[in-house]
Structure 1
Amino acid sequence: MTDTPVTFPQLGDWSSREQLTALQDKQLPRLLEWASRAPFYRSRFDAAGVRPGDRAGLAALPLVSKQELRDSYPFGLLAVAKERLATYHESSGTAGTPTPSYYTEEDWVDLAERYARKWVGITPSDVFLVRTPYALMITGHLAQAAARSKGATVVPGDNRSLAMPYSRVVRVLHDLGVSLSWSMPTETLLWAAAARAAGWDPGRDFPHLRALFVGGEPLSTARRRRISEIWGVPVVEEYGSTETGSLAGECPEGRLHLWADRAIFEVHDPATGEVRPEGSGQLVVTPLYREAMPLLRYNLEDDVEISWTDCACGWELPVVRVLGRSAFGHRVGTARITQHRLEELVFELPLEHQVLFWRARAEPDRLRIEIEVPDEHREAACGHLTEAVRKEWGIAPDVAPVPPGTFVPHEVLTAVHDVVKPRTLFGADEDWGKALLYY
């Protein structure tokens, strides 16, 4: 097959599920040809006894596991010449052998376009703070590429660097007039605390802020609502991975839609082995425009629920609920406590209680919860949460108030680190104990 320039589908290019399937089927033979260039897939094609060129051929192939990606480290799934690679990445959640990912410049066009599909559009007038890691993971680079493709000014904030403490984050947000940001949801609460520590009101003193883009961790409805209340702007959720890039984005109606024009999605039931196009189970994804490292039926192992339901946004894309850790819980007596539901109860406390940070421990015979809360709201906040937990699970929790600063110390919010270049020559009154340390 002779490759011709790729034309990526755009929202609005289809108006029905059937037309969307036709778009997938048009690209699928090219993807399978790309995959056949990688030894990993050539052996699979031979084992399946087919020369796949269509959806039936794809369905004959076994799922690809995360472990198989690790076993193929670093370039076992490479399907192009190394000279064509633009970037190399590794997943953040890997212990031991890394999970590799790599992309060509052409792959990056698809990646950036998918991420940029935000209902709060990215424009040339935006100042876009990227507050996710750049080191090896794709997340920071993805947001930067998408923002630059739309002409926005990028502020590369990172969040694994001593050069960008929270005091500097809020200064940048304030002084540069940041209008859009990309981070984990928890980051936005830390910014709010740091802003208050600096004497600013998050809902008043950041007038240029238009939206907070978030992803990378489970987000309950109540916590999302609380973040929006604090900052006075929409919170727009994103779902994806380093191995795949953006997989789903939020529409104006507040639903997460899978980018099914750019990937084929399936649901795997690990108990039965059944794979279906919708329902509940583990997400299986086949990116259609991934040339450097094709992923055919890659099992992300994320628990999801996929459905085709009408949505007023008109995107004609499947809706996904990312269950993640919400499906996991700890037993307390006969009750099963999940982080997702407990988070809902914590952030359903009234805004005036000023509860941002909390922790809980589920023990066989009791549930212990600690919340940071100012003295004047301790009794009311603990009483409300105790009653909410009792009503939800039929157990009486031990809810303890702790002073603000217990979980997130004040110095974490206000410190300015001395980030220096390495030195070897010092004066008589200087500390030469940091001769080669970059901090």
Structure 2
Amino acid sequence: MNQPSSNLPRIGDWNGPEDLRQLQEKQLQQTVSWAARSPFYRERLNPDALPATIEDLAALPLTTKQDLRDNYPFGMLAVPKEQLATYHESSGTAGKPTPSYYTEEDWVDLAERFARKWIGISAEDVFLVRTPYALLLTGHLAHAAGRLHGATVVPGDNRSLAMPYARVERVMHDLGVTLTWSVPTECLIWAAAATAAGHRPGSDFPALRALFVGGEPLTPARRSRISRLWGVPVIEEYGSTETGSLAGECPNGRLHLWADRALFEVYDPQTGTVRADGEGQLVVTPLFREAMPLLRYNLEDNVSVSYDDCACGWNLPTVKVLGRSAFGYRVGSETITQYGLEELVFTLPDSYGVLFWRARAEPTVLRIEIEVPEEHRAAAEAELAASVRAAFGVESEVVGLAPGTLIPHEALTSMPDVVKPRSLFGPDEDWGKALLYY
């Protein structure tokens, strides 16, 4: 993977675990000294005995999401405020937000890590960024990585009225988009929008060469289905607004933690123990984060980390992001998980055309609805019910719905006008829309 030159570590700069550890410890002292400048860590660290090794660091308490909320907005700041380049907040927080901020120098590290895609990003690429831009890091991260490598970036956003699915499909087709960045579900909706527009996802977008995805748990069956729909690789990414990219996929399809740019630990909340590998919550210490250093930050994401060798030769630990895959609802005496149920839905034959589904777990039955054409409805209902019975040992009521029921056809085809607000109206116009943008 060719990257623009910087002083940061690059894949291939180490030959094995010992080299990697030396690289980590070389940067750790700088990271700790940055942290000691922030109000939060100034109270937590002893200035006369700052951690100098990985073993020293392990004696510190974990930094939690609540710590970030309690120190909103700038209690974690380690540089003068005028040095900041961007401010962000993560999604899905209750009460006080979880703040994050970065300097221009921090952004070099952020962009480089995201750009570590085995398929590459180059000036020949047209890169559609279809994740949120507002406050979250995700859209800006991909945008910066694309520009770092000279790609033409199309700032699609997926929270804007200016970018309905019909426009996404048109842009992908007419601009010859080569790379995209989105949650996996978006890729399925684009396929439906393309079909609604009279295009075939697998053949009418010849420029497309890869789909970058993240932000949702992704089962092998759904990943494979998306890849077959579009005829290109689906390449997974893992990270957070608080940290940026933490792991990327190698050519062998395994997610590798960027252990040259961050230290990783696995925390067991049941026992309070911390290990280098195994299952638990991921704890991260970014090594090149100056504006807002984080020491032993508990992301609270459930993961499984392994140091087994991988044929890619990157010499980096691998991670499986379990997320909420273990979370489920009870039906009878069994627990139904979304991860497990999704795998069954996308194992149905492609010819059935099932892309969208929903389910509700009730005390004695699992109710499932799937969009499926009438000619395949009976077979799809029977096969999915049988799969659920075999996998979970529970009875289900599977109902096939006409395509367009769960994802309305209008959502795939409409192109609403997006206008700036106006205050002066004519006698036959609705002035109740004076402050609306649409």
TM-score normalised by structure 1 residue count: 0.97
- 1:49 is displaced (CA, Å) by 8.3
User: Could you tell me which amino acid in structure 1 is paired with residue 19 of structure 2?
Assistant: Q
**Equivalent pair of 1:50/1:57 in contact (CA under 8 Å):** no
In the alignment, the residues of structure 2 paired with residue 42 and residue 60 of structure 1 have an alpha-carbon distance, to the nearest angstrom, of: 16
In the alignment, the residues of structure 1 paired with residue 93 and residue 206 of structure 2 have an alpha-carbon distance, to the nearest angstrom, of: 39
**Equivalent pair of 1:128/1:181 in contact (CA under 8 Å):** yes
Q: What's the secondary structure of 2:43's corresponding residue?
A: helix
In the alignment, the residues of structure 1 paired with residue 51 and residue 222 of structure 2 have an alpha-carbon distance, to the nearest angstrom, of: 46
User: Could you tell me which amino acid in structure 1 is paired with residue 18 of structure 2?
Assistant: E
In the alignment, the residues of structure 2 paired with residue 310 and residue 338 of structure 1 have an alpha-carbon distance, to the nearest angstrom, of: 30
- 1:53 is displaced (CA, Å) by 2.3
**Equivalent pair of 1:127/1:153 in contact (CA under 8 Å):** yes
**Equivalent pair of 1:88/1:100 in contact (CA under 8 Å):** yes
- Which residue does 2:146 correspond to in 1? 147
- Which residue does 2:16 correspond to in 1? 16
In the alignment, the residues of structure 2 paired with residue 313 and residue 226 of structure 1 have an alpha-carbon distance, to the nearest angstrom, of: 25
In the alignment, the residues of structure 2 paired with residue 239 and residue 93 of structure 1 have an alpha-carbon distance, to the nearest angstrom, of: 17
- Which residue does 1:417 correspond to in 2? 416
In the alignment, the residues of structure 1 paired with residue 99 and residue 323 of structure 2 have an alpha-carbon distance, to the nearest angstrom, of: 22
Q: What's the secondary structure of 1:326's corresponding residue?
A: coil
Q: What's the secondary structure of 2:324's corresponding residue?
A: helix
In the alignment, the residues of structure 1 paired with residue 48 and residue 324 of structure 2 have an alpha-carbon distance, to the nearest angstrom, of: 38
- Which residue does 2:133 correspond to in 1? 134
In the alignment, the residues of structure 2 paired with residue 34 and residue 92 of structure 1 have an alpha-carbon distance, to the nearest angstrom, of: 26
What's the CA shift string for 1:130-179, capped at 9, x where partnerless? Answer: 00000000000000000000000000000100000000000000000000
- Which residue does 2:117 correspond to in 1? 118
- Which residue does 2:351 correspond to in 1? 352
Equivalences for 1:252-401 in 2 at 5 Å?
252-401=251-400
**Equivalent pair of 2:131/2:158 in contact (CA under 8 Å):** yes
User: Could you tell me which amino acid in structure 2 is paired with residue 277 of structure 1?
Assistant: A
In the alignment, the residues of structure 1 paired with residue 254 and residue 146 of structure 2 have an alpha-carbon distance, to the nearest angstrom, of: 22
Task: Name the count of aligned residue pairs.
Answer: 434
Of 177-186 and 422-431, more deviation after overlay is shown by: 422-431
**Equivalent pair of 2:255/2:319 in contact (CA under 8 Å):** yes
Q: What's the secondary structure of 1:324's corresponding residue?
A: coil
In the alignment, the residues of structure 1 paired with residue 53 and residue 28 of structure 2 have an alpha-carbon distance, to the nearest angstrom, of: 6
What's the CA shift string for 1:204-251, capped at 9, x where partnerless? Answer: 110000000000111000000000010000000000000000000000
- Which residue does 1:219 correspond to in 2? 218
In the alignment, the residues of structure 1 paired with residue 230 and residue 336 of structure 2 have an alpha-carbon distance, to the nearest angstrom, of: 30
- Which residue does 2:25 correspond to in 1? 25
Q: What's the secondary structure of 2:154's corresponding residue?
A: strand
In the alignment, the residues of structure 1 paired with residue 115 and residue 129 of structure 2 have an alpha-carbon distance, to the nearest angstrom, of: 13
In the alignment, the residues of structure 1 paired with residue 326 and residue 8 of structure 2 have an alpha-carbon distance, to the nearest angstrom, of: 35
Structure 2 unaligned spans of 5+: 1-5
- 1:329 is displaced (CA, Å) by 1.4
- 1:331 is displaced (CA, Å) by 1.4
User: Could you tell me which amino acid in structure 1 is paired with residue 37 of structure 2?
Assistant: R
Of 81-90 and 420-429, more deviation after overlay is shown by: 420-429
In the alignment, the residues of structure 1 paired with residue 426 and residue 359 of structure 2 have an alpha-carbon distance, to the nearest angstrom, of: 50
Of 238-247 and 387-396, more deviation after overlay is shown by: 387-396
User: Could you tell me which amino acid in structure 1 is paired with residue 188 of structure 2?
Assistant: L
RMSD across aligned positions (CA): 1.3
- Which residue does 1:243 correspond to in 2? 242
TM-score normalised by structure 2 residue count: 0.97
Q: What's the secondary structure of 2:293's corresponding residue?
A: coil
- 1:56 is displaced (CA, Å) by 2.9
- Which residue does 1:35 correspond to in 2? 35
**Equivalent pair of 1:389/1:397 in contact (CA under 8 Å):** yes
**Equivalent pair of 1:214/1:235 in contact (CA under 8 Å):** yes
**Equivalent pair of 2:32/2:50 in contact (CA under 8 Å):** no
What's the CA shift string for 1:397-434, capped at 9, x where partnerless? Answer: 11111111111111111111110111111223333221
In the alignment, the residues of structure 2 paired with residue 162 and residue 171 of structure 1 have an alpha-carbon distance, to the nearest angstrom, of: 15
